[in-house]
Structure 1
């Protein structure tokens, strides 16, 4: 923690202590009598109370999380009533998308979880000396569930004990991440930023004994995992938050109103599956407060500064956003975070979740992967989100964000990151560079060295991208082209410039996403629409770019997905016989 942040925390704690030692203390009898005699007792108005969230420092001091914990997991078949009558092979075969196609719940097996050390289970830990299962086990995650190596959710049964006061144990492999320590690193960094709420994490070496098919007493090495505390009622209580409050896991949500989906749960037309696609309910299921906030946010007649003051804590928003921007954790525009609100409050807070995509610029470059570039750098990455789009149009919010970015930047120093990386490497490399993990690592040892060495400098690169993003026009969406009377019409939303600079557009129509086989091109376009002769049947790519009067250029939001990643700024579509235009929806990602 920087001296600046440490001093801020000490000031807050000192102020709190001073209040407790003031005339309100029952131990200072003379002071109490004096206050009562003068009739000057002053009660704080509820509106004056601080709405900032602060994590509990002592929560992280109970256990040493700097090394690796070994866990032994014995899996066996259960019963059909609990959906545990399955084999370990089945558990590791199917992805979440397979379950969706089969229209069944994720398969589970019974498990006996026994934490310990490299010699075996340790006395005093959950499951020690037991033979009967104490948990259920299933694959966790979404896109990660398609990987060869899986992430697991181990749910300890009620009455069977806890591990570090937790019943739900999430073990993440981070298979697509070459270093395998980024998520742990993120939460360790967040602990040093008072304005952010973190979660407890621990490196885990997992061994599994499969008894689902036959009798077996041999444990197989499953390599390195990162355990991350699950955001649930137990975690909320542990971190000093309201366990009975509202908590949503954000899956695909840009803070649009979505009136056909986001309704009260007792509405006859409410569809839980559709709601979960946007937001998974992890707390109170009364959505009325969420609806109230979204109604206000999507009402352009209400000033955004007033909406933020009523329904959000700007400190929470700007520090969460600053951390994502500086660490380059780009896949956070509409997912990979939680929304939390205390039960008797209108306020909503962002809670951090899933950081294995941070500080990956060099790794993506080595892999010739184009993702997380173009508009996904800087503030433009959040322009798709109604909340941040409206907030960023506020000069007050931009000033607060800039202050937060500078503050967090002063904490994320190269020296700090280098020291942390050195430690993580010492702890994890013996597992990362051994089977089974080395067999599926997406980088070579030489590439690993390059990536680890480049991480500390990425903060400054991301800071420069942040500063430059204000100079560019903001991204926008391209409409689906239409053919009418032998003409192809291409239109798009107008771009936005923070300094209201003049914006012109360049439009290209090509038969390839590299935009080399060009059919039509128009430059210096003022209005967001062009027409050209209708092309022949086939696949086409319409690319639109906005350039302001200072010469800064921005791509459209739309992109085309290839094996190498995203090709930015273009809409892919097909012209069929009869002039029908069909959009390539997969191209949207």
Structure 2
């Protein structure tokens, strides 16, 4: 009886403590971990578990040694498997030269993990990314059982990936991931290797799965997806829930890669309601999404210039006992000026790939941003977060990383330092791009070539100005994508339909651009790539 009373008193103490946290601001260190989980499942706002991060050691480089076992697949065969195969490995930790006694895996002789390709597959195996998952009976590696080794081959600094996750840890209403810089050494016994081969520097990031959810104080029974290409629109290919006709795991994972859970009806209901014209879009968003999390996620991606996040490279999470969905960042490895690395990896971008217009491609984001109150809230959130994500903090973080990893980066130090300086300036530039984007019409999808009354015509969606003002349309049709040979040209039209005499058989190119009252131009979502040049806003059409 006394034991029961004691347990009751302890339970009452924790309940009172939890209540005091919400009303009196008791420090997080006094909150038991189950409170984080309960809070994340039932409360509107999202909270990461700060206890799992190693504040002192996570900028240090760790050295991992993977010995591929001789009785299975060869490591060199992984690339030819199309990313589907895996190899059994003995994973060990050491220093720069060898595995060390007292560290993970030392003294073991058999396989303790599986290794497979992750992300885009490169011809050079040293430029690939990998996932390593420890066997069930093995000890964990820094409390992690599955880790992604991200190579980031086109990031000159090799530091953007970690920079993003470390920033996420500083921001409320987001959940980050544990990261480490890693050098990887591989010895393939199945291919007769006698010694380890140095594969260079990676960013180790914990895998997002049910264990990840549990570690971060979220619901391990909840749903977790990584967007492969997901615009919150109706899906034409099979996208049904488990055990229903037409559903295949492969089709589903092309759109949303399943990281945890199996209740796919839940996300399909959200997609249906977002695309239901009979429902109020603000009501749908309010019902299914946490606004603080949504605004924070959008603002962070805009400040960091994470262009890929408009339809991919983000995660969606929902607890098993809640209808609410949360956005979780995935990696942001292509943010902070990634596409503008002069002389290293530079990709041309269209006019809409900046600021708020970058997110107009998504049905959900389009509905949310169209509401002036939501747009004002997004602007306030950006202004709030720029005190966290800024030039000075970025410089401090990157310079700290570079001190740790400089010996593993094969680039001139002066070049790296110049890139660090450029990256540090990106947050402010991205905020300026956001404000500039508010004054441009939002981009549109065009129709292709159509017929009406013995005429051909071209059209596009109605243009939208987020801050008011006029929207005007320019149309040009020609025989080439540079419009050296023009068939028809119409400027400053208030209508978004353009009629031309019926076209004979051949290949044609057209472009519909939108303008504001000042004549500033926004291109459509169209683009044409002839193999040597990308023509943004241009669409090819073929008349048989």
Normalising by the residue count of structure 2, what TM-score does the alignment of the two structures yield?
0.88
2:152 is aligned with 1:174: yes
2:51 is aligned with 1:50: no
**Residues 224 and 19 (structure 1), Cα distance of their counterparts in 2 relative to 1, 3 Å cut:** closer
Contact 1:190 1:198 in 2 (8 A): yes
* 1:262-301 aligned within 5 A: 262-301=239-278
* 1:368-407 aligned within 5 A: 369-407=346-384
Contact 1:362 1:454 in 2 (8 A): no
* 1:464-543 aligned within 5 A: 464-482=432-450, 487-534=455-502, 537-543=505-511
Contact 2:339 2:345 in 1 (8 A): no
Deviates more, 1:446-455 or 1:380-389: 446-455
**Residues 231 and 49 (structure 1), Cα distance of their counterparts in 2 relative to 1, 3 Å cut:** closer
Contact 2:306 2:332 in 1 (8 A): yes
Of 57, 65, 85 in structure 2, the residue corresponding to residue 64 of structure 1 is: 57
Unaligned runs of 5+ in 2: 1-17, 28-38
**Residues 376 and 145 (structure 1), Cα distance of their counterparts in 2 relative to 1, 3 Å cut:** farther
| Alignment partner, residue 73 of structure 1 | 66
**Residues 325 and 503 (structure 1), Cα distance of their counterparts in 2 relative to 1, 3 Å cut:** same
* CA distance in structure 2 between the partners assigned to 1:217 and 1:314 by the alignment: 56
2:86 is aligned with 1:86: no
Contact 1:147 1:175 in 2 (8 A): no
Match of 2:308, SS state, is coil
**Offset from partner CA, 1:177-236 (integer Å, 9 cap, x none):** 11111000111111111221100110001111121122x331111100000111100010
**Residues 116 and 48 (structure 1), Cα distance of their counterparts in 2 relative to 1, 3 Å cut:** closer
2:164 is aligned with 1:186: yes
Contact 1:68 1:204 in 2 (8 A): yes
* CA distance in structure 1 between the partners assigned to 2:155 and 2:165 by the alignment: 16
* CA distance in structure 2 between the partners assigned to 1:424 and 1:117 by the alignment: 18
* 1:140-219 aligned within 5 A: 140-142=118-120, 149-214=127-192, 216-219=193-196
**Offset from partner CA, 1:272-291 (integer Å, 9 cap, x none):** 22211111222221222212
2:212 is aligned with 1:244: no
Shift of 1:93: 4.6
Shift of 1:146: 8.2
**Offset from partner CA, 1:307-330 (integer Å, 9 cap, x none):** 222111011111111111111110
| Alignment partner, residue 18 of structure 1 | 24
Contact 2:156 2:344 in 1 (8 A): no
Match of 2:175, SS state, is coil
**Residues 138 and 354 (structure 1), Cα distance of their counterparts in 2 relative to 1, 3 Å cut:** same
Of 430, 453, 477 in structure 2, the residue corresponding to residue 462 of structure 1 is: 430
Contact 2:316 2:328 in 1 (8 A): yes
Deviates more, 1:512-521 or 1:329-338: 512-521
Shift of 1:544: 1.0
Of 529, 536, 556 in structure 1, the residue corresponding to residue 524 of structure 2 is: 556
Equivalent pairs counted in the alignment come to 516
| Alignment partner, residue 419 of structure 1 | 396
* CA distance in structure 2 between the partners assigned to 1:73 and 1:48 by the alignment: 38
Shift of 1:259: 6.8
Contact 1:139 1:145 in 2 (8 A): no
**Residues 392 and 476 (structure 1), Cα distance of their counterparts in 2 relative to 1, 3 Å cut:** same
Shift of 1:509: 2.0
* CA distance in structure 1 between the partners assigned to 2:360 and 2:352 by the alignment: 9
* CA distance in structure 2 between the partners assigned to 1:281 and 1:486 by the alignment: 49
| Alignment partner, residue 325 of structure 2 | 348
* CA distance in structure 1 between the partners assigned to 2:82 and 2:87 by the alignment: 15
* CA distance in structure 1 between the partners assigned to 2:142 and 2:41 by the alignment: 36
Match of 1:282, SS state, is strand
**Offset from partner CA, 1:146-175 (integer Å, 9 cap, x none):** 886111111211112221222212111011
Alpha-carbon RMSD across the aligned residues, in angstroms, is 2.8
Contact 1:94 1:146 in 2 (8 A): no
* CA distance in structure 2 between the partners assigned to 1:48 and 1:91 by the alignment: 39
* CA distance in structure 2 between the partners assigned to 1:520 and 1:367 by the alignment: 40
* CA distance in structure 1 between the partners assigned to 2:444 and 2:311 by the alignment: 16
Contact 1:168 1:230 in 2 (8 A): yes
Normalising by the residue count of structure 1, what TM-score does the alignment of the two structures yield?
0.81
Contact 1:338 1:351 in 2 (8 A): yes
2:525 is aligned with 1:547: no
Contact 1:366 1:447 in 2 (8 A): no
* CA distance in structure 1 between the partners assigned to 2:245 and 2:384 by the alignment: 48
| Alignment partner, residue 441 of structure 1 | none
**Offset from partner CA, 1:468-526 (integer Å, 9 cap, x none):** 11111110111121467874422221211123422111111233333444332111222
* 1:549-588 aligned within 5 A: 549-561=517-529, 566-573=534-541, 575=542, 579-580=543-544
Contact 2:40 2:217 in 1 (8 A): no
Shift of 1:49: 6.2
**Residues 155 and 61 (structure 1), Cα distance of their counterparts in 2 relative to 1, 3 Å cut:** closer
Contact 1:314 1:397 in 2 (8 A): no
Contact 1:144 1:175 in 2 (8 A): no
**Offset from partner CA, 1:382-419 (integer Å, 9 cap, x none):** 11111111001122221221121111111122111111
* CA distance in structure 1 between the partners assigned to 2:483 and 2:136 by the alignment: 59
* CA distance in structure 2 between the partners assigned to 1:566 and 1:279 by the alignment: 28
Match of 1:178, SS state, is coil
* CA distance in structure 2 between the partners assigned to 1:360 and 1:562 by the alignment: 26
**Offset from partner CA, 1:96-151 (integer Å, 9 cap, x none):** 4xxxxxxxxx1222111101222432344332111111112111113668886111
**Residues 151 and 496 (structure 1), Cα distance of their counterparts in 2 relative to 1, 3 Å cut:** same
* CA distance in structure 1 between the partners assigned to 2:87 and 2:338 by the alignment: 38
**Residues 560 and 212 (structure 1), Cα distance of their counterparts in 2 relative to 1, 3 Å cut:** same
**Residues 445 and 532 (structure 1), Cα distance of their counterparts in 2 relative to 1, 3 Å cut:** farther
